[in-house]
Structure 1
Amino acid sequence: MAGFTMIESLISVALVAVVVITGIAGYTEFQEKQQVRTAASSMVQELLEVQKKTRQGETSDCRSGRTLAGYKLKLETSEHGNDLKIMAICRQGETPHQEIATTFETVSQVQIESMDPTEVTFTWPDGVPGEDVEIQLLKDDSHECVIISKDGAIRAEGGEC
């Protein structure tokens, strides 16, 4: 007898469906992890740029006539989650002024879950925070940790902080 019986055909279709569904679920999980990694990488690049500006004493984020004293990073809650505010600390004489340089907001639904401590300053001229800082990024079950060490090294690591 040639061909397949109805039962054999149904089993084959069911097996193919299981393989396809498993593949889609794995791809979705991979996409989530990749989005969190990309957000962490973007944050690391932004923080390295802030650190570089601090070390070079670049005043582009300060109003005319003010000198750069460093940058402050501060975790703030907004209507769509947590934002990482990056503020230039500019001086005019002895008076410090904080001027917002940039804001790292929630990207592609990747949340900034936490930052410990919630506020830190890169000081001129060395651009180091003086304490270890951990910033936790999250999307669904995917975590990434951005770490700023007290010696100034900035890196991203997979998993929770």
Structure 2
Amino acid sequence: MPDSTARLEALQDGADPGAVLDLLDTLEPVGIDGLLGRWAGRGIPTGHPFDGLLEALGWYGKRMDTADVVHPLVFRGARGRLVSITPTLLPVGPALRLAPVVPRAVAARAFALVRPLLTTSRPQARLRTVTYRGVASAAMVYDRLPIIDVFRRVDDDTLLGVMDLRGQPHPYVFVLRRERSAG
């Protein structure tokens, strides 16, 4: 899929949500087994309130051990150690409202203070096949939040993901790259 890879690279620094969804619609679905592993993530700026926020907070990516053992939010903790965060403890509603006005550096400092209180070793999501925009593909269904991350395959080690959050006019968009050394 070299054409898909080139199209994705062209969108990495920012794009209209419609352009990203157009690319998503051309990508192949991915099966649940194709998601297993540890993935490094990076948002694609589209004008969503979360653009750049997760990265400013030290977001690393996602870890999917099995279909039922999934860690949707993995961050860099103290001394660079990877830690999983409990998504339900994050104030998603206020974050959506405040993200456009709170400087990222301030948010990062505040998050660093509370991050130890948010960490968990328990899975916080599951992988299921979901139909999104007419295509059945693997998706991450959060356990206690109205969030579904839908994935499409760019290549064997790259996924385009969209976070479908109830009430948002368009999804938060991100790319995941497989960490082969994560075993």
Give the TM bin, normalised by the shorter chain. under 0.3
TM-score (norm 1): 0.26
Give the structure, 1 or 2, with the largest relative contact order (CA under 8 Å, sep 6 or more): 2
Q: Which has the larger radius of gyration?
A: 1
